[in-house]
Amino acid sequence: MSEEDDLHWLNALAGRPASGPTEAVGQEARTLRGLISAQIEEDIVAVSTMDFARESALIARAKAEGLLPPRSHRPWFQAAAGLAAAAVLASVLIGLYRTSLPPSETFRGVQDGTVRLASKNPSALKQQIIRELRAAGVPAVGYERLGRLGVDAELKKPISASAREVLERHHIPVPQDGALVIEIDAADQP
């Protein structure tokens, strides 16, 4: 068959008028179309007479055989469990992300009673330490000397648990004499 014969055959199968040199090609396609149409009409008639009792019996049998899972009477529980799992996963991922970040401050050591810290944002760290110490009941003041930012504070003995927590959070050792002097340098940017 040629390409033109194929085109005539497809047109006849689609129900379009077949005009072409070979009538046998068109007749074959029309016969196939008639058979397909008869099968479709037969299937439509079979579906239109549905037996709902038989359908229910088949579904029950499929559930009994384990082919269909039983329907949950608590869909809200499944949704809540899915949301809880998503929340746990999100918190784990956020925690992993936060631990992979470089530290915002670095303890450099103590020199002549002065605690040396390095931070990417020295001004923000200074304000944060002052705010946290004041919230813990420690009078603290900030300063800037010779281009270095710092914090002065007088710790009362015995040191309160909240003040000790602030110092531990920033990796600052507790001074022996109670005089807390912190200087904050800018951290080297990579």
Nearest to 149 by CA among 179, 114, 109, 176: 114
The pLDDT tens digits for 4-19 are 878 888 888 888 875 6
What is the distance between the alpha carbons of residues 19 and 37, in angstroms, rounded to a whole number? 22
Looking at residue 30, the DSSP 8-state letter turns out to be H
Which stretches of the chain score pLDDT less than 70? 1, 18-22, 41-49, 70-73, 99-111, 189-190
With a CB cutoff of 8 Å and minimum separation 6, the contacts of 81 are: none
What is 31-87 written as a DSSP string? HHHHHHHHHHHHHHHHHHS--HHHHHHHHHHHHHTTSSPPPPS-HHHHHHHHHHHHH
d(Cα 10, Cα 4) in Å, to the nearest integer? Answer: 10
Which residue type, as a one-letter code, is found at position 103?
P
Place of tokens 């099968």: 39
Determine the Cα–Cα distance for residues 83 and 89; give it in Å rounded to an integer. 10
pLDDT at 49: 63
pTM as predicted: 0.44
Contact assessment for residue 181 and residue 115, using Cβ atoms and an 8 Å cutoff? yes
The pLDDT, as a whole number, for residue 176 is 83
